[in-house]
Structure 1
């Protein structure tokens, strides 16, 4: 299985982040290629099914997904239910002992702080009165070899393998875009969102 994980920090309450991410229909606003998300069944909990309409180049495709498990406010698991072996999850982890609650003295020499600490303080200054940051991760696993060639109606002279070679590398960029834009909406800001990306794949 190929694996992709995109992590970042959010200055919002974990419960609010979880509720926000549970609404799959909003994801189309953050993606370049996802045009629409339609709820087929359920209310966001386990068993909820969605139809996700994608469009890229001359190819359109509707994926079907199902929520397989939830643990508020910590995680939402889902899987793709046809045409490819793929699943993923959102993880929300409260930060403790960091940021404004770290107990650092006001007289600390800022010249000795790491670049990461300085960035945290800049974000803190724009989020006074807001809860400490939590960490959010979008984790995806998929097997490109399991993709069904019957899933797409392709133009003449275009091979399924060619489409896979072109489309799979877009997954990382799409995941980063979704996480980044979701964080900005959650925070109500336009700050630069720093992403920590892990990839275990020769294709992504």
Structure 2
């Protein structure tokens, strides 16, 4: 099982961060490879389902995800429903005290963490239509390399939108790749 964890400090109230993150269709604005997010069922709470259309290189793929649990304003859990075993969460942890490097105008803040665990070996090759002479293993290897880069990009762009300004965002990234 592979794991990727990206976290950073955000200088808004935890409730504001939660409301921002639970709005999954908004994510398409932050990702280079996510073209569209459509809610297919629910109101954003447990049992809500989404279709996430990704495009990369000559490939397109629609992932089906489901919100499995929420604990407002501290946690959103989800899973992928088909083609690959994957699950993850957004965690929001309020600060008791602001960090020393917080912006001068910050009065509240929280640590936001995106975490995903996936089994790359569980990916179903029949779910993607590949061009002639392109192997599924080659595609899987290339995509695996993009996952961390994309997660970092999404978090940086979301922080800028959430706080209403661009700033240097310090990310803590942890990867654990059993398959490599």
Give the TM-score normalised by the residue count of structure 2: 0.96
Q: In the alignment, does 2:118 pair up with 1:159?
A: no
Aligned partner of 1:5 in structure 2 is: 5
Number of corresponding residues: 180
TM-score, normalising length: structure 1:
0.85
Aligned position for 1:25: 25
Looking at CA atoms only, which structure, 1 or 2, has the larger radius of gyration? 1
| Structure 1 residues 24-43: aligned runs within 5 Å | 24-43=24-43
CA-based RMSD: 1.3
The CA deviation at 1:97 is: 2.9
Which of 146, 155, 180 is the matching residue for 1:179?
155
- 1:47-103 CA-to-partner distances (Å, cap 9, x unmatched) read 00000000000010000000000000000000000000001000000011334xxxx
Aligned residue number for residue 190 of structure 1? 166
Matches within 5 A, 1:131-142: 131-142=107-118
- Matching residue of 1:201: 177
Higher helix share: 1
Consecutive unaligned residues of structure 2, counting only runs of 5 or more, are none
Which consecutive residues of structure 1, in runs of 5 or more, have no partner in the other structure? 100-116
- Please list the CA deviations of residues 12-54 of structure 1 after superposition, one character each: whole Å capped at 9, or x if unmatched: 0100100000000010100000000000000000000000000
- What secondary structure is seen at the aligned counterpart in 1 of 2:129? coil
1:12-161 to structure 2, matched below 5 A, reads 12-99=12-99, 117=100, 119-120=101-102, 123=103, 125=104, 128=105, 130-161=106-137
**C-alpha displacement of 1:203:** 6.3
Q: CA deviation at 1:201?
A: 1.0
More strand, by proportion: 2
3-state SS, counterpart of residue 168 of structure 1? helix
